[in-house]
């Protein structure tokens, strides 16, 4: 693990206030979800999960077909489709659009996809003012950070943090009451909504048979961003596709419940094209940017294709014991938790962050809560094995390979194993020195051995090995 | 061309060829439970109030009009062009402005108004949700910009839930460019997960079932 992440993890673990904040927030999300999917309130939860899995599987297995259907439907309703291979394509399109339409101000609703391609940092230097309008994202934007959690981006900030931030960045009086802070943000953003030329959103779903973008939110900022400005641009990964509007009956029931425990979020918008003849308001122009950015590469692996079924509910973050300790910023990419550990190596290269698939206790909670039944623990294991193979090919772990070969040889020779065992037993301190790993000489505490010992409290060596005890037992019995 | 290159990569990854039809999709699963009309209305009111909204029952359009008059209480209000509001006598209330067809005028009125009054195409009993299709009768901003949203609709428009909605309306895009489901007042929990109502949308919502 490289130093940056190790330092970040240490800092998070060593900050009691942050630990308490993450634990409380993720704990509440867990409680809310559990209540919302309980058999008394949602008896067919498991059938819904299966149905969602099968629909996603079908869509991705036939993705080219649905992409073309989506395109045809969108164009028929007067929308525009922009295909983007990567972040550069998206940024170029938006800048060109802004130039052509003489747009200066863009309001934006929450989107993990635009975070993924770091769109803001590509657009802002070009003179375009962009304002995040989801309260959590607005806080994060003012603080110059990246989201801490898929559905709760400012999960790690206390009210005092936000009060201090607002007073510093917005020049308002310092308050710490969440209600007052929300009012400040409402007032500041209201003017932006009404003045903006372009509203940008992500998409929770793309509906192929309708050419529609579906947005799920609680605050109303996505509705504002897509209703008030004269241009709406939605940026979405190609994997967000579902075949039919009717499939939403399944996905909407799962998404809100899994994310925050809400049967439905406050607003669900189903948007297909610009304002039509007779409609009084709504955008005059409607663009959907379909982003690949490595997704088509992930499709090729039949087993791991299911990583693309994710609907970004964040349940596998809140339920992950590792996420709950190390927090969202200790992961190298915008996607954290179990799904982050699964997709980051696939997008960014296996050996870029080789430790990532190991950042899991394999307790299986992520797989159990996933609303679309992605086999996350299995994918983590597969990736671990691939990472090891890739590192072997690069001969990064030659020493480790040698060690394991030696270990395998010892394990295949019981007599030698036993002999080494008794040598070790003789060398080890006894009962009185339980914390002996803490007192190892410094040279032993360097490198992987040190990392291993630093987290472990080894019990003292037993007087008799299992094999010796077994032999004694067999001897006693035969008498 | 990005279009061709993305489609080509997707097809190569999936082992599919140009123009190849999709395998049959899993059939949609839509189940509409049997519940009598009264049980649905009760469920709607219970769910909406649990979210911090307020549900009203009115015996007649006139009664609904009277409730709206009390709720508006002389404040500046904007009403949509839904004929049902006219039927309830809402559009002729003194502080209510209605009949907008120009987007700029509507936007200005909504930004200044304290109350937005609309009808709704349907309501969903099991979640306390309003379903609104944008069109000549309903605009998007009336239920969004003013801090208070009042919706008035005939009780017969109550559906059981999402399954019934998508059974009746399998392709919403054929009717409107914007369908929105509204479930309770606008809210956030982004600061320490403390619930605050009325972030960008209305913090207060009243639904009057006639």
Asked whether A369 and A319 are in contact (CB, 8 A), the reply is yes
User: Which residues does A287 contact at the CB level (< 8 Å), separation at least 6?
Assistant: A79, A80, A81, A82, A97, A231, A232, A233, A234
Which pairs count as long-range contacts for A37-41, CB under 8 Å and 24+ apart, including other chains? A37/A257, A37/A258, A41/A263
Mutation target among B8, B112, B193 for the A interface, most CBs of A within 10 A:
B193
Show the DSSP H helices in A242-375 as ranges.
248-260, 295-299, 315-318, 321-326, 337-348, 365-369
CA pair distance A238, A234, nearest whole angstrom: 12
Average the pLDDT over B90-101 and give the result. Answer: 96
Predicted local distance difference test score (pLDDT) of residue A359: 92
Using a CB–CB cutoff of 8 Å, tell me whether A62 touches chain B. Answer: yes
pLDDT, one tens digit per residue, over A39-98 is: 999 999 999 999 999 999 999 999 999 999 999 999 999 999 999 999 999 999 999 999
Contacts of A189 in chain B (CB under 8 A): 200
pLDDT, one tens digit per residue, over A277-317 is: 999 999 999 999 999 999 999 999 999 999 999 999 999 99
CA pair distance A253, A45, nearest whole angstrom: 9
- How many Cβ atoms from other residues are within 10 Å of residue B24's Cβ? 8
CA pair distance A112, A226, nearest whole angstrom: 17
State the number of CA atoms in the 13 A half-sphere of A216 facing the CB: 23
Q: Please state the domain extents for chain A.
A: 1-36+314-396, 40-296, 428-478
Give the pLDDT band (50/70/90) at residue A166: very high
Query: What's this model's pTM, rounded to 2 decimal places?
Result: 0.91
CA pair distance A276, A197, nearest whole angstrom: 19
Angstrom CA distances, A285 to A31, A76, A222, A289, B140, stand at 42, 14, 16, 13, 16
CA pair distance B103, A227, nearest whole angstrom: 11
Please tell me which residue of chain B has the smallest CA distance to A59: B25
Predicted local distance difference test score (pLDDT) of residue A418: 87
- What residue has token string 């690069």? A394
Q: In the CATH hierarchy, which top-level class contains the domain A40-296?
A: alpha beta
Instruction: Please tell me the distance in Å from B146's CA to the nearest CA on chain A.
Output: 11
The CATH classification number of B33-209 equals 3.40.50.10420
- How many Cβ atoms from other residues are within 10 Å of residue B22's Cβ? 17
CA pair distance A258, A248, nearest whole angstrom: 15
ipTM: 0.97
* Highest mean pLDDT, choosing among A465-469, B25-29, B133-137: B133-137
Average the pLDDT over A198-223 and give the result. Answer: 98
Query: Residue B121 is encoded by which pair of tokens?
Result: 């195409």
CA pair distance A27, A266, nearest whole angstrom: 22
pLDDT at A456 over 90: no
Phi, psi of B34 (to 5 degrees): -85, 120
CA pair distance B150, B143, nearest whole angstrom: 8
Please tell me which residue of chain A has the smallest CA distance to B4: A83
**Paired strand residues for B199:** none
Q: Report helix, strand or coil for B182.
A: strand
Predicted local distance difference test score (pLDDT) of residue A336: 95
Asked whether A241 and A59 are in contact (CB, 8 A), the reply is yes
Predicted local distance difference test score (pLDDT) of residue A429: 66
User: DSSP per residue over A34-63, as a string?
Assistant: HHHT-TTT-TTHHHHHHHHHHHHHHHHHTH
Q: What share of chain A is helix, strand, coil (3-state, %, to 5)?
A: 55, 10, 35
CA pair distance A356, A332, nearest whole angstrom: 9
Report the percent of chain A where pLDDT is more than 70: 95
pLDDT, one tens digit per residue, over A365-398 is: 999 999 999 999 999 999 999 998 888 777 666 7
pLDDT at A402 over 90: no
Please tell me which residue of chain A has the smallest CA distance to B52: A266
Predicted local distance difference test score (pLDDT) of residue A390: 85
Contact check, Cβ <8 Å, B171/A245: yes
Average the pLDDT over B164-183 and give the result. Answer: 97
Under the phi-then-psi rule, with left for phi > 0, alpha for psi from -120 to 50, and beta for the rest, what region is A127?
A: left
Of B47, B135, B173, the CB nearest to A212: B173
Report the percent of chain B where pLDDT is more than 90: 96
Mutation target among B129, B146, B199, B205 for the A interface, most CBs of A within 10 A:
B199
Contact check, Cβ <8 Å, B29/A243: no
The number of C-beta contacts closer than 8 angstroms across A and B is 268
pLDDT at A1 over 60: no
Closest CA to A238 of A335, A95, A345, A113: A113
Asked whether A387 and A350 are in contact (CB, 8 A), the reply is yes
Q: Report helix, strand or coil for A268.
A: strand
Closest CA to B83 of B131, B135, B48: B135
Dihedral, CA atoms, A64, A65, A71, A72, nearest 10 degrees?
150
CA pair distance A262, A255, nearest whole angstrom: 9
Please tell me which residue of chain B has the smallest CA distance to A180: B196
Contacts of B163 in chain A (CB under 8 A): 249
Angstrom CA distances, B14 to A63, A67, A298, A304, B10, stand at 8, 13, 10, 13, 6
pLDDT at B100 over 90: yes
pLDDT at B142 over 60: yes
Predicted local distance difference test score (pLDDT) of residue A425: 77
């Amino acid at each position: 693990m490289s130093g940056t992440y190790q330092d970040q993890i240490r800092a998070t673990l060593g900050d009691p206030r942050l630990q308490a904040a993450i634990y409380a927030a993720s704990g509440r999300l867990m409680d809310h979800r559990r209540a919302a999917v309980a058999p008394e309130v949602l008896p067919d939860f498991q059938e819904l999960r299966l149905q969602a899995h099968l629909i996603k599987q079908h869509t991705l297995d036939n993705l080219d077909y649905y992409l073309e259907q989506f395109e045809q439907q969108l164009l028929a309703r007067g929308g525009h489709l922009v295909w983007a291979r990567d972040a550069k394509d998206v940024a170029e399109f938006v800048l060109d659009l802004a130039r052509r339409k003489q747009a200066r101000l863009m309001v934006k609703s929450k989107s993990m996809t635009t975070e993924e391609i770091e769109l803001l940092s590509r657009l802002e230097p070009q003179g375009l003012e962009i304002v995040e309008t989801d309260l959590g994202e607005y806080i994060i934007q003012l603080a110059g950070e990246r989201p801490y959690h898929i559905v709760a981006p400012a999960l790690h900030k206390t009210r005092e943090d936000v009060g201090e931030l607002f007073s510093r960045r917005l020049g308002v009086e310092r308050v710490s009451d969440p209600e007052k802070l929300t009012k400040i943000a409402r007032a500041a953003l209201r003017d932006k909504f009404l003045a903006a030329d372009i509203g940008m959103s992500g998409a929770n779903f793309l509906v192929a048979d309708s050419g529609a973008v579906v947005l799920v939110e609680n605050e109303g900022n996505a509705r504002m961003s897509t209703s008030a400005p004269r241009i709406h641009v939605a940026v979405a990964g190609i994997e967000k596709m579902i075949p039919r509007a009717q499939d939403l009956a399944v996905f909407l029931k799962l998404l809100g419940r899994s994310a925050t425990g809400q049967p439905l979020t406050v607003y669900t918008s189903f948007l297909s094209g610009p304002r039509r003849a007779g409609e009084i308001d709504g955008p005059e122009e409607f663009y959907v940017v379909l982003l690949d950015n490595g997704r088509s590469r992930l499709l090729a692996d039949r087993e791991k294709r299911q990583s693309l079924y994710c609907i970004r509910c964040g349940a596998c973050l809140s339920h992950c014991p590792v996420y709950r300790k190390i927090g969202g910023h200790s992961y190298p990419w915008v996607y954290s938790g179990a799904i982050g550990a699964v997709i980051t190596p696939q997008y960014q290269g296996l050996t870029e962050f080789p430790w990532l698939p190991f950042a899991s206790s394999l307790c299986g909670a992520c797989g159990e809560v996933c609303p679309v039944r992605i086999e996350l623990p299995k994918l983590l294991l597969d990736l671990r094995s691939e990472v090891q193979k890739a590192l072997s090919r690069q001969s990064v772990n030659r020493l480790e390979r040698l060690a394991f070969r030696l270990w395998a040889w010892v394990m295949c020779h019981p007599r030698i194993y036993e002999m080494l065992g008794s040598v070790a037993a003789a060398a080890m301190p006894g009962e009185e020195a339980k914390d002996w790993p803490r007192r190892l000489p410094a040279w032993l505490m360097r490198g992987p051995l040190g990392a291993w010992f630093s987290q472990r409290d080894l019990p003292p060596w037993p007087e008799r090995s299992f094999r010796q005890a077994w032999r004694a037992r067999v001897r006693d019995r035969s008498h | 061309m990005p279009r061709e290159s993305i489609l080509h990569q997707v097809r190569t990854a999936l082992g599919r060829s140009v123009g190849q039809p999709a395998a049959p999709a899993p059939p949609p699963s839509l189940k509409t439970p049997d519940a009598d009309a009264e049980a649905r209305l009760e469920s709607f009111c219970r769910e909406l109030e649990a979210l911090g909204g307020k549900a009203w029952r009115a015996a007649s359009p006139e009664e609904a009009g009277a409730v709206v008059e009390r709720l508006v209480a002389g404040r500046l209000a904007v009403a949509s062009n839904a004929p049902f509001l006219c039927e309830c006598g809402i559009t002729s209330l003194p502080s209510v402005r209605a009949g907008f067809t120009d987007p700029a005028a509507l936007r200005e009125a909504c930004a200044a108004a304290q109350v937005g009054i609309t009808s709704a195409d349907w309501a969903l009993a099991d979640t306390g949700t309003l379903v609104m299709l944008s069109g000549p009768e309903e605009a998007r901003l009336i239920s969004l910009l003013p801090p208070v949203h009042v919706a008035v609709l005939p009780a017969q428009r109550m559906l059981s839930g999402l399954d019934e909605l998508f059974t009746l309306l399998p392709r919403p895009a054929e009717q409107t460019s914007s369908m929105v489901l509204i479930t309770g007042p606008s809210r956030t929990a982004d600061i320490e997960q403390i619930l605050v109502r009325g972030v960008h949308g209305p913090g207060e919502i009243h639904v009057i079932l006639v």
